[in-house]
Chain A
Amino acid sequence: NAGVTQTPKFRILKIGQSMTLQCTQDMNHNYMYWYRQDPGMGLKLIYYSVGAGITDKGEVPNGYNVSRSTTEDFPLRLELAAPSQTSVYFCASSYLGQGNEQYFGPGTRLTVT
């Protein structure tokens, strides 16, 4: 199993540009999450999904959108990028029936200038 994979690893955006961060898991997990981590801080939840077609907001959803059309994929869309969105983005997945242990991808480092 590849686990949780994320692309791209790094990206530089100009203010106002848009992009999609990709996340795929091959563990047949029902729950998927997007977090952001700012320097010296813990992770904060942006959005999560409990299954295909079902998404909900986390702690810091403004400026982001998500969709989940399949069990495997959970892309995060940034519209009109702002410097405040400079961060490291992590995708994670879990299976509620297995104690909900979360497995994380390697992250995407995004800089908005």
Chain B
Amino acid sequence: KQEVTQIPAALSVPEGENLVLNCSFTDSAIYNLQWFRQDPGKGLTSLLLIQSSQREQTSGRLNASLDKSSGRSTLYIAASQPGDSATYLCAVSSIGGGTSYGKLTFGQGTILTVHP
């Protein structure tokens, strides 16, 4: 059974810092990995999707890497801003028989606070 762990559970940084959020998963047979952002009381917004054949994806100040063999992904946020404050969730889609490709297993998230 796939298990996803995110470290740290919470992080508080001053504005302008570069930071790294970590995600680990137990089964390396994955189809893809997705990073989401969730604002309080809101739904999930997809930030980056990394296919199993890729090593990293970039979008603006965000960079996500994937090391399938070690079961790890990192989300790097450059020059953090107060508007980046949110919960960041990592989710993996495991390779399985039949229709299992679409099913995501989520970590518990990292609560990020960026203070001015």
Confirm or deny: A94 has a beta carbon within 8 angstroms of a beta carbon on chain B. yes
Interface string of A88-102 (1 = CB under 8 A from B): 001010101001111
Residues of A in contact (CB 8 Å), total 27
A-B contacts at CB below 8 angstroms, number: 64
B102 contact set on A, CB distance < 8 A: 31, 33, 48, 50, 94, 96, 100, 102
A105 contact set on B, CB distance < 8 A: 43
Q: Give the interface of B toward A (CB within 8 A).
A: 4, 31-32, 34, 36, 42-46, 49, 51, 89, 91, 93, 99, 101-104, 106-109
A99 contact set on B, CB distance < 8 A: 32, 49, 51
Contact of A90 among B43, B103, B107 (CB under 8 A): B43
| Minimum Cβ distance to chain B for residue A3 (Å) | 10
Q: Give the interface of A toward B (CB within 8 A).
A: 31, 33, 35, 40-45, 48, 50, 54, 56, 58, 90, 92, 94, 96, 99-107
| Residue pair B43, A41 in contact (C-beta under 8 Å) | no
Q: Is the interface of B mostly helix, strand, loop or mixed?
A: strand
B32 contact set on A, CB distance < 8 A: 99-101
| Residue pair A106, B43 in contact (C-beta under 8 Å) | yes
Q: How many Å lie between the Cα of A104 and that of B34 in the bound state?
A: 13
| Residue pair A104, B103 in contact (C-beta under 8 Å) | no
Q: How many Å lie between the Cα of A104 and that of B32 in the bound state?
A: 17
A58 contact set on B, CB distance < 8 A: 103
Q: Which residue on chain B has the smallest CB distance to residue A50?
A: B99
Q: How many Å lie between the Cα of A16 and that of B91 in the bound state?
A: 33
Contact of B89 among A42, A94, A101 (CB under 8 A): A42
